[in-house]
Amino acid sequence: MRCKKTVVIGVTGGVAVYKALDIVSRLKKKDIDVHVIMTKAAQEFASELSFRSLSLNPVTTDMFDRPNSFDVEHIALAKRADVLLIAPATANIIGKISNGIADDMLSTTVMATKAPVVIAPAMNTAMYENPIVQRNIENLKSYGYHFIEPLSGRLACGDVGRGKMESPEVIVEYVEMLLHSNKDLKGKNILITAGPTREDIDPVRFISNKSSGKMGYAIARAARDRGANVTLITGPTSLSPIKFIDVVNVYSSEDMYKAVMDNLESADIVIKAAAVSDYSPLDYSSIKIKKSEDSMTLPLRKNKDILLEVGSIKGSRIIVGFAAETNNVLDNAKLKLSKKNLDMIVANDVLDKGSGFDVDTNKISIITNDDIISYDILTKDEAANNILDKILEIKR
Ligand code: PMT
């Protein structure tokens, strides 16, 4: 049985070919079998030897190369691919595929494969914006081809504009997402909150908490990789934005409340990992509050409990809360489960070492109306997948 995943990379002619070398190297580090097909033009920009050395596989450069096996080479690669990535992709290869042309090894392999095809264009802005190229892209999207949109910036030709190939890091993240074999959340719309909120006191001070956003982001990434349509509502964090999901950036608990309510309608599952401030200053001072007395009192007002409100109008949705506790962890979490009308609550003792705020691990208990499962310390990625597994067990 073949377990190792295979990515076939089609490299076409453009300055961004050097980035394709980086893509090969990153995929190899993830123990993925990489096979490279270079067009004639690509070979003008980098040598076949470089790709062979990095992929540790023969590189296909021509239709009439002698195959090493009895399979016809383009069919063999087309069948073997779990994902076929074209990076960089020129206007030429996009036009060929869009018109069903198969006149060299790469275009023939694309026509013959049943694997998802990911295209990362790189070209001059005027070419990219040319209506014919755009029509070809739209045509291919309508057939299910994946596109990783190019970035704006200074291009090799000196022009400034759209057409720069996405970074190898992001392209590899997209490929990995497609390679994830378990798509058990496909078609589910999941709304996730993450991070802290900030409640301004004056222009330079605010009330917040220690949430880094790591737990909520891990759930968003795992849900995305398992095929869900993810909307992440995030308070201010220093984490890199998650690609290929919908992200709504918010600041205060009031902003988070509005964003959750705006996105609730289409959600099948809501997971609230955010640490929302329970109180805000009663009055905001538009100028910096000056130091005067030895002590001062800051009057606060209670914020809306977003989860409580979502629970009260949940309909057929599955609602999952978190409980950040320092004592009586399970009992306090169980109270929140029933009070907020939740299907599940994830309790974490935020005083435990390696658990809770601003660390990469967590020690969680998953509580439903039927049972409680307490886990040993897990990475937040592992915790996220356990939470998603348990959500899938909830009957509706
Ligand atoms: O972000 P990290 O650094 O990775 O840390 C992760 C975490 C500790 C923040 C996370 O695991 C966690 O426990 N999140 C919930 C934090 C929290 O606010 O817990 P709580 O017990 O105070 O609130 C209970 C639930 O009600 C939470 O789902 C919370 O999102 C929600 N809530 C709370 C207050 C409020 N005004 N509105 C809410 O919706």
Dump pLDDT digits (tens) for 137-163: 999 999 999 999 999 988 877 888 999
19, pLDDT greater than 70? yes
Mutation probe of ligand 1 site: the residue of 207, 211, 306 with most atoms within 8 A of C-beta: 211
Considering the entire predicted model, what is its pTM?
0.88
Measured in angstroms, how far is the CA atom of residue 288 from the centroid of ligand 1?
A: 29
Structure tokens of 25?
């190297």
Q: Which of 5, 214, 256, 25 is nearest to 116 (CA)?
A: 5
6, pLDDT greater than 80? yes
Predicted local confidence at residue 180, as pLDDT? 87
Looking at residue 138, its amino acid is E
Predicted local confidence at residue 21, as pLDDT? 98
What mean pLDDT comes out for the span 1-11? 87
Mutation probe of ligand 1 site: the residue of 270, 276, 348 with most atoms within 8 A of C-beta: 276
CB contact burial 6-21 (16+ within 10 A = b; e otherwise): bbbbbbbbbebbebbb
**Which positions ≥6 away from 388 have C-beta within 8 Å?**
185, 219, 222, 223, 226
Nearest CA to ligand 1 atom 13: 324
* H or E stretch at 6: strand 6-11
What does the DSSP assignment read for 70-98? SS-HHHHHHHH-SEEEEEEE-HHHHHHHH
Kindly state the greatest CA–CA separation across the chain: 87
Structure tokens of 215?
């737990």
* Catalytic-labelled residue, pool 126, 156, 157, 239: 157
Do the beta carbons of residue 119 and residue 148 sit within 8 Å? yes
Q: Which of 77, 60, 63 is nearest to 6 (CA)?
A: 77
Q: How far, in Å, CA of 133 to CA of 167, rounded? A: 21
Average predicted confidence (pLDDT) for the chain: 95
What mean pLDDT comes out for the span 320-330? 97
Predicted local confidence at residue 181, as pLDDT? 77
Helices 168-179 and 214-225: crossing angle in degrees, nearest 10, is 60
- Catalytic residue flag (residue 157): yes
Measured in angstroms, how far is the CA atom of residue 113 from the centroid of ligand 1?
A: 46
Q: What are φ and ψ of residue 115, in 5° steps?
A: -75, 155
Instruction: Using a pLDDT cut of 90, give the percent of the chain over it.
Output: 91
305, pLDDT greater than 70? yes
Q: Is 45 annotated as a binding residue?
A: no
Mutation probe of ligand 1 site: the residue of 272, 339, 359, 364 with most atoms within 8 A of C-beta: 272
Q: How far, in Å, CA of 119 to CA of 162, rounded? A: 16
> Please, which pLDDT band fits residue 72 given cuts at 50, 70 and 90?
low
Predicted local confidence at residue 64, as pLDDT? 62
389, pLDDT greater than 70? yes
Q: Is 5 annotated as a binding residue?
A: no
Predicted local confidence at residue 259, as pLDDT? 98
**Each residue's pLDDT tens digit, 342-374:** 999 999 999 999 999 999 999 999 999 999 999
What residue spans of the chain are helical by DSSP H? 17-29, 42-45, 48-55, 73-80, 91-98, 105-112, 125-129, 131-142, 168-179, 214-225, 253-264, 306-312, 329-339, 380-393
> Please, which pLDDT band fits residue 66 given cuts at 50, 70 and 90?
low
**Which positions ≥6 away from 212 have C-beta within 8 Å?**
195, 237, 238, 239, 357, 358
| Residue matched to tokens 């802005």 | 125
- What the chain holds in terms of domains, given with CATH numbers, is 6-179 (3.40.50.1950), 189-279+300-393 (3.40.50.10300)
Q: What are φ and ψ of residue 66, in 5° steps?
A: -70, 120
Ligand 1 pocket by Cβ (under 6 Å): 195, 211-215, 253, 272-276, 278, 303, 305-307, 321-324, 336, 348, 350, 356-358
Measured in angstroms, how far is the CA atom of residue 202 from the centroid of ligand 1?
A: 24
Give the count of alpha carbons within 13 A of 32, CB side only.
Answer: 28
> Please, which pLDDT band fits residue 102 given cuts at 50, 70 and 90?
very high
**Which positions ≥6 away from 96 have C-beta within 8 Å?**
102, 103, 107
Predicted local confidence at residue 65, as pLDDT? 59
> Please, which pLDDT band fits residue 70 given cuts at 50, 70 and 90?
very low
* H or E stretch at 298: none
Predicted local confidence at residue 63, as pLDDT? 63
What angle (nearest 5°) sits at the alpha carbon of residue 249, between those of residues 244 and 252? 155
Predicted local confidence at residue 238, as pLDDT? 98
Q: Is 147 annotated as a binding residue?
A: no
> Please, which pLDDT band fits residue 2 given cuts at 50, 70 and 90?
low
Evaluate the omega torsion of the peptide bond into residue 88 and state whether it is cis, within 30 degrees of 0.
Answer: yes
Predicted local confidence at residue 71, as pLDDT? 53
**Each residue's pLDDT tens digit, 161-207:** 999 999 999 999 999 999 987 899 999 999 999 999 999 999 999 99
What mean pLDDT comes out for the span 283-287? 97
**Each residue's pLDDT tens digit, 197-250:** 999 999 999 999 999 999 999 999 999 999 999 999 999 999 999 999 999 999
Percent helix, strand and coil across the chain, each to the nearest 5? 35, 25, 40
Q: How far, in Å, CA of 85 to CA of 354, rounded? A: 38
68, pLDDT greater than 70? no
Measured in angstroms, how far is the CA atom of residue 311 from the centroid of ligand 1?
A: 15
